[in-house]
Amino acid sequence: MAGLRLRHGHRPHRHAEIRHPRPARLLRKRPALAQALRLQRAGRARPAGRAEPVRRDEEHIRKLLLEYESEDDWLLLMPGTTTDATPDELKERYHILLMMDAGLLAIVGSGAFRITNSGHDYLEAIRDDGIWKKTLAVVAETGGNATLELIKTLALGLLKAKIEQHTGLKL
């Protein structure tokens, strides 16, 4: 912190003055800069004019997994890493991070990722268009909310029923 020197492990007294590295006069003249600094400190800064996706889109996740699986190389590169990334690239990046959280994708190196075994299993469960549409219909009938794991379980149940109907074998 500028203007305040502390020894390691010490906290400032509650009345201690903590000065900002930018002069207050500049912040008063440029309220947009002051707002941006407050957001940055709060960890919520985002480039102007760009909307951050905050909702998970299961259709988009399925589309991305099918696209990644059809690639020639198993090593995939993270989109949206440049400052001039398009909103579509930012949406794809956000959903990649969600899939990493769910264990469907794994980071391999700096800016590179791959589909995990769990990702391939999820993809096999939702690959068939008919099963996918039935799965989404069941989710919609029950309120429209479901985790990726629940979607996978529903799709596997429908796939199992389809195989049993086709083969006559009880699975």
Digit-coded pLDDT (tens) for 139-150: 999 888 889 999
Express each pLDDT in 114-156 by its tens digit: 999 999 999 999 999 999 999 999 999 988 888 999 999 999 9
**Integer Cα distance of 159 and 68 in angstroms:** 22
Quote the domain boundaries for residue 23: 12-46
Specify if 36 maps to a domain.
Answer: yes
Whether the model pTM is above 0.95: no
Residue 29 and residue 76 share a domain: no
Q: How confident is the model at residue 49 (pLDDT cuts 50, 70, 90)?
A: very low
Same domain, 31 and 76: no
Confidence (pLDDT) at 18? 47
Same domain for 78 and 160, yes or no, is yes
Q: Are 62 and 107 found together in one domain? A: yes
pLDDT of 102 strictly over 60: yes
Measured in whole angstroms, the distance separating CA 164 from the mean position of its chain's CA atoms is: 36
Separation in Å, CA 131 to CA 102, 125, 148: 21, 8, 15
Q: Is residue 134 part of a domain?
A: yes
In a shared domain, residues 116 and 145: yes
pLDDT at residue 140, rounded to an integer: 92
With a cut of 80, say whether residue 41 has pLDDT above it. Answer: no
Kindly list the distances between the CA atom of residue 134 and the CA atoms of 114, 131, 156, 167, in Å, as whole numbers in the listed order. Answer: 28, 5, 11, 20
Whether residues 86 and 161 fall in one domain: yes
Structure tokens at 37: 């600094």
Same domain, 39 and 113: no
Q: Would 59 be classed as within a structural domain?
A: yes
